[in-house]
Amino acid sequence: MTPPAAAGLVLAGLVAGYLGLRSGPAGLRPGDPSFVNADRPGINAHNSPAVAAHGNTIVVADRIDTPRFGCTVSVSTTAGATWKQLNLPLPPEAPNCHQPDVAHDGSGRLLVLYTATGGRFNQPVGAWVQRFDGETASGPPVRVAPAEAFHARMAVDGSRVWVTWVQVDGAAEKPLGFSATPGPVRVARSTDGGATFDPPRTVSEGRRVVQPTPVALGGDRLVVGALDLAEDFADYEARHGGQGGPPPESPWRIVAWTSTDAGASFGPTVTVADDLVAPQRIIANLAPAPSFASGAGGLYAAWDAGRGDGRDVFLARSGDGGATWSAPAAVAPGPRGQFLPAVGVAPTGRVDVLFYDRRDDPEDHRAHVTLASSFDGGRTFRTATVSDAPFDTRIGFGSLQGIPVLGSQVAVLSETDRVLALWSDTGRGTIDDSVQDLAVVSVDVEEAGRRTPALMALGLLLLGLGGGLLLVARLRPGDRRPQQP
C-alpha cells in the first residue's frame, strides 16, 4: 500500500475515534409494536399491564374487563419479541383472576399477586400470591387479603414481600363504588418470599383513597403512594350510577406514607400534589392509578390532571425517600388530553414516562402512546411516539354508559439501553364489543454523551493498520534509479 493510502487509513481512524468519543444528543428509537396476546386473539378487553424482568425472562400480567372479569400472565424469553401464556392455578374459592401484579424475589422466583371477584356485583372475594419455580407453579396460592380488598399491589425486596390494598367493608352491596365510610389502606408483609404473611397492618384510614402502590426503597424503608379522591363523594360512592357526565368539581390529591421499620408502622400522610383538577368521572372499582418508581436519583410519582386542552401528565420527585416532594412539573404539555402515565427508572438514573396522548386529535378521542425520557432527573424530556396508529380511547368497559375504562395503568420496563412499553390498544375494538389488545414495543435508548464502543474500536483498528503501513513504508528500501556515470 502506498504511503498516501496508509495516511488515509490513519485519518479515517482518527475520524472514527473522534465520533466514538464525542458527546451526541439523546435519542429514542421505537421498534414495531406487537400484541402480547397475539397468540390468543378474541373479544376480551386486555388492559392494566404489570411487568417484571429477571435476567432474560420478562413477565407481563394484564386485567380483562369484558366479556367477563379475568386476567392473563404471559412470559417472554426473547426480550419481548414473542410471548406465551403462563398457567396460573386458582384455589377453589377463587372463581377468577383479576387485577394481577407481578414481581421477582431476590432469587429470581416469580410471584403473581391477583384478586378474585365474584358475588352479586363481581366484587373482590380475596387476594392471593402464587409463587413459581421457573414457569411452573410452586405449591398452592397463599391468601393475603380477605373479601372486599380492592386494588391489591405488591413490592418485593429480596425475600421480603409487601402487599397493599384498600379494605372497603360493605362494598359488596355497591355495584360500582365504595361505602360511605372511607376504607383504610392495609399492608401485609412476608419475610419468606411470599410463603407466609403477617397479619395486615393499617397504613392510613379516614381518606377516600384508591390504588395504593408500595415501593421498597431498600433497607427498612417502604413508601406507599395513592390517589386521594378527597371530597369527591360522587366517584368514591358511585353516586353517578356508572353513567357518564361532567367531571367532579372537588379536587383530588396524590398522597404518600413512609415506613422506616419495613412496614410495621407508617408516618403521617404526606401530600405529593394537592388541588388537582379531576379530569373525568371514574368507576372507583377500576380507578386510574398514579405511578410510583424509585432508582438512582430518587423516588418519582406520575399522574394526570386537568381537563380538555389542559389535561397533562405531571411528575414529582423526592430525594429523601418520600418525606418531601418537588413541585409537580408537566412532562410534555400539549393540546388536548394526555393521561394515565407510568414511570420507570433505569439503572443509569434515566426517568421514563409512558402515557396516552390525544394531542393530534382535535376531537380529543383518538390517542397515540408517547414515551418521554429524561436524562437529567426529570427536569427536561425527550419524547417519541411509540404506537404505530391512533386508536379510540372511548372503547372499553363502560363505553355504552359514557364512562369508558382504558385500564388502571400502563407499564414501562426501564433498562439500561432500552424501554419496554406496554399499553391497551383498541384498534380491533368498537364501542359495542369493547375489544382491547395488550400492545408492546421495544424502544432503543441512546443517552446524550454516551460513547460508541464500536466506532472507538474501528478507529483504533484503522489507526493501527495505517500507522503500521506507514512505518513499513518508511523502513523498506525505496526504488532507486542507477546513478549515471
Q: pLDDT tens for residues 50-78?
A: 999 999 999 999 999 999 999 999 999 99
Tell me the whole-structure pTM to 2 decimals: 0.88
DSSP code per residue over 238-284: TTTTT---SPPSS-EEEEEEEESSTTS-----EEEEEEEPP-S---G
| Residue 344 pLDDT > 60 | yes
d(CA 119, CA 449): 57
Residue 20 clears pLDDT 70, i.e. is over it = no
| The three cell numbers locating residue 32 | 414495531
Among 47-56, 430-439, 475-484, the minimum mean pLDDT is found in: 475-484
Residue 268: other Cβ atoms inside 10 A = 7
End-to-end Cα spacing for the chain:
33
What pLDDT digit, counting tens, does each position of 398-416 carry?
Answer: 999 999 999 999 999 999 9
Instruction: Reply yes or no on whether the pLDDT at 339 is more than 70.
Output: yes
Q: Would you say residue 327 has pLDDT above 50?
A: yes
Q: What number is the average pLDDT over the span 123-129?
A: 96
- Please state, in angstroms and rounded to a whole number, the distance separating the CA atoms of residues 198 and 302: 30
Question: pLDDT value at position 466?
Answer: 56
Check pLDDT > 70 for residue 474. Answer: no
* Mean of per-residue pLDDT scores for the chain: 91
Question: Is residue 11's pLDDT more than 70?
Answer: no
Minimum mean pLDDT range among 4-13, 293-302, 310-319 = 4-13
**If we measure between CA atoms, which residue out of 156, 99, 33, 50 comes closest to residue 413?**
50
The pLDDT value given to residue 13: 55
Measured between alpha carbons, how far is 352 from 332 in angstroms, rounded to an integer?
A: 12
Cα 94 to Cα 143, 167, 172, 248, 400: the distances in Å are 10, 18, 16, 35, 29
Q: Are strands 142-145 and 136-137 parallel, antiparallel or unpaired?
A: unpaired
Query: What pLDDT score does 175 carry?
Result: 80
Q: Using the predicted structure, report yes or no on whether residue 433 has a pLDDT greater than 50.
A: yes
Q: Residue 414 has which C-alpha cell?
A: 426501564
pLDDT for the residue numbered 174: 78
pLDDT of residue 484: 46
CA distance 466 to 472: 10
